[in-house]
């Protein structure tokens, strides 16, 4: 799995080591265990998916973070992305709006002894108590960039987020918050993510 990812251009050694270390099969339903290491997304229930390994690696690398940095993930899902970030030596806070997924992910992460703080909430508003963050990663696609997340970035930090309409191809963006307060955008290519769910929905 990791060799395929590296062949596609993701070559950050911290990301590769983390993805070799995290047992991906523990984060998918038992019925899909044999497919856990294929480079494709898999359903995890409640209309959600675990992202394909290449996308997890690409987004982790694009954060541009270092061990010890504090990161926020929006969309815990299975907990796999959070586990990869924790294995990279990051301090990880993650938010999931679906209680059943949040509880399951917290249990899996705890069983595997990944020190990740999981919260059940509407991720649109971020986690202000722990801001500002050295990086923010969003694993569901809103139709616009949530301003509260931008406000919780440290100057110089990156947010990696898919943005686009529901049911269509989205664009994966890396937004860097400049020291001037400007948000600098870089497209990382087309992607397809589940929609960003809000509390009122």
Catalytic residues: 51
* Distance of alpha carbon 161 from alpha carbon 137, whole angstroms: 6
Q: What is the DSSP letter of 197?
A: P
CA distance 130 to 32: 35
Single out the residue of 172, 168, 175 nearest to residue 188, CA to CA.
172
Instruction: Give the contacts of 148 (CB within 8 A, at least 6 positions apart).
Output: 124, 125, 126, 128
Backbone angle region of 167, left / alpha / beta, with phi > 0 → left and psi within -120 to 50 → alpha? left
**Alpha-carbon distance 78 to 104, whole Å?**
7
């Amino acid at each position: 799995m990791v060799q395929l990812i590296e062949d596609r251009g993701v070559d950050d050694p911290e990301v590769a080591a983390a993805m070799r270390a995290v047992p991906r099969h523990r984060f998918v339903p038992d019925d899909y265990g044999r497919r856990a290491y294929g480079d494709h997304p898999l359903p995890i229930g409640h209309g959600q998916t675990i992202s394909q390994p290449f996308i997890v690696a690409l987004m982790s690398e694009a954060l541009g973070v270092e061990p010890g940095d504090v990161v926020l993930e929006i969309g815990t899902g299975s907990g796999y992305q959070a586990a990869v970030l924790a294995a990279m030596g990051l301090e990880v806070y993650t938010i999931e709006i679906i209680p059943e997924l949040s509880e399951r992910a917290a249990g899996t992460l705890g069983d595997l002894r990944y020190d990740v703080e999981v919260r059940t909430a509407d991720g649109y508003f971020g986690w202000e108590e722990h801001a500002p963050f050295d990086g923010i990663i969003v694993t569901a696609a809103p139709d616009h960039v949530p301003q509260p997340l931008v406000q919780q970035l440290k100057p110089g930090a990156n947010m990696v987020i898919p943005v686009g309409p529901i049911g269509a191809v989205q664009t994966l963006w890396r937004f860097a918050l400049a020291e001037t307060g400007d948000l600098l955008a870089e497209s990382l290519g087309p992607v397809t993510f589940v929609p960003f769910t809000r509390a009122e929905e």
